[in-house]
Structure 1
Amino acid sequence: MEEKFEVSDILTGRPDREISDKEKDCYDMLEKLGIYYERVEFNIFPETLEDLSKSDEKLKMPGIKNLMFKTKNGSQFFLLVLARNEKLDIKEFRVKHGIPKIEMAKDSDLENILNTHSGAVSITELMYDKDNKIKLFIDEKLLEEEYMRFHPNENLSTVKIKMKDFKEKLIPYLEHEINIL
């Protein structure tokens, strides 16, 4: 029988369970920066929009999606963060920002640059982009919210922090400028 997706109640502090080195990196960074966070955990990887909406309800905020693109020749990379229900017009994005044709980044790109895999891309993984290969774009509407949410470098939980901490502490620490999507 297939396991049913479940979301915890709101939790604070790092997990009591064993966590990966990547997840530890994220919690270490948040604590080093003095950023208060709340989180929810999942029993299994979320696979449907229904699963994802359960975490949205617990966090009391809309879902987001992180899309990683690259130019055809692989010379530029772009992390786009937008509301899950927003449609992205790639052609409009490219024209607005003067970007040549782009394609989704490959799993090998995600692994090599962000130490991650498809389905688990998170803004906090920019900590691994030491060469600043990735240009970050965030939907302006998200930046107007009270909170920002992200996976703590693994997709078995979601963390939320105050937008003020996101803009004033986390982004400067990650050394990636926010470009408006």
Structure 2
Amino acid sequence: MSDFYIDPVMYTTKPSGNGRLEKEMRVYDLFEELSVPFIRLDHEVTPTIEACHDIDKLLDIKICKNLFLCNANKTKFYLLMLPGDKKFRTAELSKQINSPRLSFASSEYMEEYLDITPGSVSVMGLMNDKDNKVELLVDEDILKEEYFGCHPCINTTSLKLRVSDLTEKILPAIHHTMTVVSLSYEISI
């Protein structure tokens, strides 16, 4: 286990709200409205994908990486969900979505469109994207799993959700669709 604190208690209800950010509480309100079950695990800040490994073991899910990207002109923005053990190759994704010269979008755009700060990137941030400025890209291997993990717009809590709840309930409710992409695993010899 890592040297940061993880509350070993797993919750299936939203927190009381004391000391919680409004953007996090909006996620739980959405789950209540849509009858989406979840498992919640509270912990210290997890700023990187590596810091999430112990959390994912406790939640019994495969780690999911979320990247906030944009095109060179900063006119198109993307949220990419992929398995945590896949390497992101810009050229491979650019070809599939016909958007050359992808790069990581700045934190200013992340906060403006998703109300999320670096280290907290999550598909749940799309609920704050009322003007649909961000396109969701999901690697096909995420869709093969029963569950996935994400943050509720803050990286001091992790959630376990059903993939089917994301695709059938959450995305339609927040008026977003997804584009499925197929990113390859790097083969080591």
Q: TM-score, normalised by structure 1?
A: 0.92
Aligned to 1:131: 131
Aligned to 1:77: 77
Contact 1:124–1:174 at 8 Å: present in 2 too?
no
Kindly provide the amino acid, as one letter, of the partner of residue 134 in structure 1. Answer: V
Unaligned 5+ residue runs, structure 1?
Answer: none
Shift of residue 46 of structure 1?
2.1
Q: What SS is found at the alignment partner of 1:51?
A: helix
Q: What SS is found at the alignment partner of 1:8?
A: strand
Contact 1:148–1:166 at 8 Å: present in 2 too?
no
Aligned to 2:20: 19
Aligned to 1:5: 4
Kindly provide the amino acid, as one letter, of the partner of residue 134 in structure 2. Answer: I
Unaligned 5+ residue runs, structure 2?
Answer: 182-189
Shift of residue 39 of structure 1?
1.1
Shift of residue 100 of structure 1?
2.1
Q: What SS is found at the alignment partner of 1:41?
A: strand
Shift of residue 48 of structure 1?
5.8
Shift of residue 6 of structure 1?
2.1
- C-alpha distance in structure 2 between counterparts of 1:78 and 1:46, whole Å: 22
Instruction: State the aligned residue count.
Output: 178
Q: How many percent identity over aligned positions?
A: 30
Contact 1:80–1:137 at 8 Å: present in 2 too?
yes
Q: TM-score, normalised by structure 2?
A: 0.88
Kindly report structure 1 stretches of 4+ aligned residues shifted beyond 4 Å.
47-50
Asked whether 1:41 is paired with 2:52, we answer no
Kindly provide the amino acid, as one letter, of the partner of residue 90 in structure 2. Answer: I
Shift of residue 50 of structure 1?
5.5
Aligned to 2:154: 154
- RMSD across aligned C-alpha pairs, in angstroms? 1.6
- C-alpha distance in structure 1 between counterparts of 2:113 and 2:50, whole Å: 30
Shift of residue 83 of structure 1?
1.0
Deviation track 1:6-64 (CA, whole Å, cap 9, x = no partner) reads: 2223221012443110111100011111111111110x212566632110111001111
Q: What SS is found at the alignment partner of 2:120?
A: coil
Kindly provide the amino acid, as one letter, of the partner of residue 79 in structure 1. Answer: L
